[in-house]
Structure 1
């Protein structure tokens, strides 16, 4: 069988020396790392497509990659033949071996071209390919090192980006003073899945960007790549990232917020060290001058006023936001900041962020929040990022108009192509029309290739009906008292009721007892005094705001249902998951590798498996994308059974709920005017407190 070098020379006779050396170097140096032809094609396929100059289609490139892969599977002697590179000029091997795996542009000049020959490949693409390959090798080494320890090793995110020599020079010289963020021509992957390819992200300083897109497409991953600086950000730009799930620790709230201001903390630490040196007589004589500089800087940043800027709340998300807003980073990354926040806190956050002076990039599923905060929308879809000026409603209008125009252009061109093709077919063998036919053929070749509109699949959710005619009462609390500590009543004389046609939303501040009331209604908590009554045939399905804690993350969604509800076929489990958008490969991946929204869908599939006739849902929209929230609202409206839910999502509440219960002052009050009245009450409170 031919060697890899023979295959490349045969299939690409015009291949220049630089690319030939690069490709054969990858095949020789990394052949053992390719576990499939897909991995080999990912490493070199794009480059081979480019140098083929459209003479070979994707199928031909795939076939060549298969031949290369087969060759690499032979014995070591044959595999070594892949490294036999013949060039018309010498190569400094030290420059190649010493820099192997380096993603910098300095590696490329070491590979010499034939005399007078220019490279046919964009150097940035070579760099990105090298970066992807190196990331893959690093992950495989890490996986191999953990195999003996036993636990499931999850896929990891990686990013590759072509370097800009101009930006590198400006960065090293200290001339780059701009606070705009420009990340050009980058790729992001999660394990083997490509999330973004050849993407550009431009964030102008001082603008507030909303990042939207379907669950699982990579919004959270992109924020993490920026925060970890896997994508290059100028070093003088400070970044702070508030994630979806915020872990708690034992640090007191005020201290944790103040410590987040790293400039203030470092100056105070240095001031203490210098003072200690002077006091102990260990100083070198320069401490006094430095102390003067530090005091001037502390005065400039108003360090003495720091405690007044703290505004911690009772929940981890509030504390995380307090840290972020206190630190005042140049680039603030927020991932679903409204998760777990009550309506009052969301209204406050909207108002505060509208006055934010630096740049914000926020992932959110809350349409009202984005309309209030965002000056621009970034739409992640089809492995790319599209930018739109304006709030979310403006984005929806422009996107729909773009899609309509794109479809009209595509249909018009198809008709034009068909018209020309009819002429060609009619007169193809007419000698008198030969010149016209040739002209029409050339015209067809020159027409740009337009693609039909890539419409996103519609999200559908359906809750199985459990409606039966029950005689009242269905679910009721009568004069209920409840406390965890006798000195602090959570509820006093609480009386509420619901039936199989109820659509009730419970609102109130964090800590007011909303989740506690739901657990009393379900019977998980017993009243201290009073009576809970539930119909004997009532089957309640419960969705917890901490639903992830109820899922075994180390097994697949199919396995999870099989363990929870044994005795059914795999097809039945897959059908149940497919009803909530967890289909195909997603159903057999470890649950831990799914996005937040996908985990929520698994929880819905698990909750509805026994066909309840009443649902109690605690923050069901957290982590879901907007399309899934709309589908969830439609499903609840069609469901023939009762619903009580806790939610902060204004649009979702308006779509679903007919009653609004406000949880406050150890009781529950029914608001006759619905959400509009509740929002007006909160705004009036803000005005009295001086926030508006």
Structure 2
């Protein structure tokens, strides 16, 4: 049929559309630019979470605090996260959730917290995700207000006392008020309301809040400290189910150690997402593995999970190879004897056996990539180019004192020497001066007194804890690098980005649409292109999955320049560093670990910490 008013077409439009789609798929696979495949970046638009849940857990009738959610689906931004999934958590257990970056771990937590995935209404759920809003409320009062039951009882106590003092109150009403007041006092005694302030103060202290900070208004704190405050409120009010998503990203090393020990005595249910293996080992009683749209359960901590998962895959491979060998043996017998008159009957019997066997499927690709990061073939690979050698000293400070004004000294009489072969971990509580030390090392800050020497040809590259500030969110990764290092071909920038795991169209989409881990990789690519003599890394493992953390550790070990790292990740630090410098009480001192006692120097430092119990 020919359309009226237009020329005749001999092209089958259905086949044409199919061919165009096939070509677009091939381009995407090769990483060829396809403008329709690049999402637009809009910081004000967040995709909706779509949940299909058959029914709520039966625990709603029994008032049990165990959680059992069955046969539910979750989609986010059109992507399937879970299909026909089941989530079961026993009250009092501590679950660590693991999975590759972008697999949907945070989406699952948000679905539970926002009641899109419904749990029984009698179970109190609290999600540590967003920083609290700042106002004139002090930090400790903000924590105390998190316990709504205590706040309600105190408000009722105040109202009853005011009513008893009124002259207009009748004897009958006074008797009722007095009886109710006794009940309120009894309830306050049961929840130990008189100890609430000391408990809140101890939690804040463990998370790094000094006595002065505890009395400061919440509006005076930065975003990272407000996240700590949100965590303190959650720990104080003890919900039935605490959802904690990468909470260690906002903590310094001593605070992470404190939180590990605090969670070990957590008597409610905990579901924590983390890429810090030592933290998961210390905290978890169970592991939930999110992969391929399903949840798998493992008893024990992360190390037990890795052992069980590895052994399970080893058995699958053994079974597959045994089955393959058996089938090959049958086929070889058939091929040899099926046309031999004497053996034809036996060959026919083997053919029937072979036909009855179920289809043989090769074990799926190991889904541990992105979780275990054992350096196997196919895992992420990072590399920083080796710099030319510089004669020492290259970066040295002697008796340096620094303060932003004469009345407030941050670092006093510190000495520090970083050489081309240095691999140094800088640890200590937040606010002790680690960021100031980085500023002095990079030359952004100058000392009030003392000598700060940098080699004239020294190049350094800084990974900032707030690395997003180093990026142009509206530009693509290729555009960002070409703006910093002009004059090269697009293929050169994409090859460098590919070295850090940004391949295909990912390198061409706006940086604002990338995940936190992908943004970190853009910064690593920029650092590599600057060809530095010294890497200064401030919390580089935040947002990286475990495979990427191990790839970064391997790249740092292979790098022949100097490295100084500020991090809370014990395993990462021990994998890279052979020195620990402690920044605390205005000083910078080297921790003297014992060589050859079986632990890395960072683990030795961790064991030496004296942590106050709550």
Q: TM-score, normalised by structure 1?
A: 0.71
Distance 1:583 1:155 in 2: 24
Give structure 2 stretches of 5+ with no counterpart: 2-13, 22-39, 210-224, 370-377
* Match among 587, 602, 606 for residue 667 of structure 1: 587
SS at the partner of 2:506? helix
Distance 1:248 1:600 in 2: 27
The answer to whether the 8 Å contact 1:428/1:437 transfers is no
* 1:454 matched residue in structure 2: 366
Shift of 1:153: 5.5
* 1:230 matched residue in structure 2: 116
Distance 1:381 1:621 in 2: 22
The answer to whether the 8 Å contact 2:95/2:271 transfers is yes
The answer to whether the 8 Å contact 1:152/1:554 transfers is no
Shift of 1:330: 0.5
Shift of 1:664: 2.0
* Match among 387, 397, 421 for residue 297 of structure 2: 387
Distance 1:516 1:296 in 2: 50
- Tell me whether 430-439 or 539-548 shows the greater mean CA deviation: 430-439
* Match among 303, 309, 319 for residue 399 of structure 1: 309
Shift of 1:302: 2.5
SS at the partner of 2:61? coil
SS at the partner of 1:175? helix
Distance 2:603 2:328 in 1: 57
Distance 1:402 1:231 in 2: 31
Does structure 1 residue 357 correspond to structure 2 residue 294?
A: no
- The 1:211–1:498 alpha-carbon spacing in structure 2 relative to 1, beyond 3 Å, is same
- Tell me whether 205-214 or 308-317 shows the greater mean CA deviation: 308-317
* 2:77 matched residue in structure 1: 191
Does structure 1 residue 205 correspond to structure 2 residue 91?
A: yes
* Match among 324, 334, 343 for residue 414 of structure 1: 324
SS at the partner of 2:444? coil
The structure, 1 or 2, with the larger RCO (C-alpha pairs under 8 Å, 6+ apart) is 2
- The 1:578–1:192 alpha-carbon spacing in structure 2 relative to 1, beyond 3 Å, is farther
Shift of 1:383: 2.5
SS at the partner of 2:235? helix
* 1:182 matched residue in structure 2: 68
- Tell me whether 187-196 or 514-523 shows the greater mean CA deviation: 187-196
* Match among 317, 336, 345 for residue 246 of structure 2: 336
Distance 2:525 2:282 in 1: 33
* 1:617 matched residue in structure 2: 537
Does structure 1 residue 636 correspond to structure 2 residue 556?
A: yes
The answer to whether the 8 Å contact 1:159/1:186 transfers is no
* 1:375 matched residue in structure 2: 285
Distance 1:625 1:632 in 2: 11
- 1:541-620 equivalent positions in 2, closer than 5 A: 541-620=461-540
- The 1:256–1:670 alpha-carbon spacing in structure 2 relative to 1, beyond 3 Å, is same
* 2:51 matched residue in structure 1: 160
Deviation sequence 1:301-332 (CA, Å, 0-9, x none) = 23332212113133334323211110101111
* 2:189 matched residue in structure 1: 299
Distance 2:578 2:364 in 1: 41
* Match among 418, 436, 459 for residue 498 of structure 1: 418
- 1:256-275 equivalent positions in 2, closer than 5 A: 256-269=142-155
* 1:220 matched residue in structure 2: 106
* 1:686 matched residue in structure 2: 610
Deviation sequence 1:121-159 (CA, Å, 0-9, x none) = xxxxxxxxxxxxxxxxxxxxxxxxxx9xx9556452524
- Tell me whether 646-655 or 316-325 shows the greater mean CA deviation: 316-325
RMSD over aligned Cα atoms: 3.5
Give structure 1 stretches of 5+ with no counterpart: 2-61, 70-146
Distance 1:469 1:450 in 2: 49
The answer to whether the 8 Å contact 1:427/1:437 transfers is no
- The 1:401–1:678 alpha-carbon spacing in structure 2 relative to 1, beyond 3 Å, is closer
The answer to whether the 8 Å contact 1:507/1:647 transfers is yes
Deviation sequence 1:54-110 (CA, Å, 0-9, x none) = xxxxxxxx99x99xx9xxxxxxxxxxxxxxxxxxxxxxxxxxxxxxxxxxxxxxxxx
The answer to whether the 8 Å contact 1:154/1:593 transfers is no
The answer to whether the 8 Å contact 1:155/1:190 transfers is no
* 2:438 matched residue in structure 1: 518
Distance 1:276 1:554 in 2: 59
- The 1:151–1:677 alpha-carbon spacing in structure 2 relative to 1, beyond 3 Å, is closer
Distance 2:245 2:257 in 1: 17
* 1:7 matched residue in structure 2: none
The answer to whether the 8 Å contact 2:399/2:413 transfers is yes
SS at the partner of 1:222? helix
Q: TM-score, normalised by structure 2?
A: 0.79
* 2:356 matched residue in structure 1: 443
Shift of 1:185: 2.4
* Match among 400, 404, 408 for residue 484 of structure 1: 404
The answer to whether the 8 Å contact 2:126/2:243 transfers is yes
SS at the partner of 2:458? coil
Deviation sequence 1:261-292 (CA, Å, 0-9, x none) = 12223344455566677859799969837666
SS at the partner of 2:482? helix
Distance 1:292 1:555 in 2: 65
* 2:134 matched residue in structure 1: 249
SS at the partner of 1:458? coil
- The 1:682–1:228 alpha-carbon spacing in structure 2 relative to 1, beyond 3 Å, is same
Distance 1:176 1:535 in 2: 71
- Tell me whether 265-274 or 155-164 shows the greater mean CA deviation: 265-274
* Match among 231, 234, 241 for residue 321 of structure 1: 231
- The 1:569–1:231 alpha-carbon spacing in structure 2 relative to 1, beyond 3 Å, is farther
Does structure 1 residue 508 correspond to structure 2 residue 428?
A: yes
- The 1:662–1:377 alpha-carbon spacing in structure 2 relative to 1, beyond 3 Å, is same
Shift of 1:462: 0.6
Higher helix share: 1
Shift of 1:488: 2.1
Distance 2:601 2:560 in 1: 28
The answer to whether the 8 Å contact 2:87/2:295 transfers is yes
Shift of 1:554: 3.7
The answer to whether the 8 Å contact 2:330/2:350 transfers is no
Deviation sequence 1:201-235 (CA, Å, 0-9, x none) = 21111011111122222222222222112212111
- The 1:576–1:274 alpha-carbon spacing in structure 2 relative to 1, beyond 3 Å, is farther
* Match among 570, 577, 589 for residue 650 of structure 1: 570
